Copies of this chain bind each other. A is one copy, B any other.
Amino acid sequence: MEAAISVLVSQFKQFAGKDGSSDTLSRDEFHSLVVSQLPNFVKNASDPAAIDKLMGTLDENNDGELTFLEFWQLIGTLASQHGGFSQ
């Protein structure tokens, strides 16, 4: 499990480091991450409007940036759907 967690952390950092703060994902960074890393788990991953909507639901403090833990909520939802868990 630790290796898988490290992959998720390093991938987040790789995309978050492209512009501005390397601790958060900007809108563009989030788009490129979803398109390249989550093409199957995120429905309509190729539709920018769908990704904007998704970011809006995650960006709890509405600062246009996703913190790691805001991003982590998305991954949890995707993982839960992928695992077929009811909660």
Chain A contacts to B: CB under 8 angstroms: 1-9, 11-13, 23, 33, 37-41, 67-69, 72, 75-76, 78-80, 82-83, 85-87
Contacts and interface: CB of A to CB of B under 8 A. Distances in A.
B11 A1 contact: yes
Contacts of A13: 83
A68 B87 contact: yes
Given A76-B69, A87-B69, A82 B6 contact: yes
A1 B4 CA distance: 9
Contacts of A33: 1
A82 B38 contact: no
Given A1-B11, A8-B5, A79 B68 contact: yes
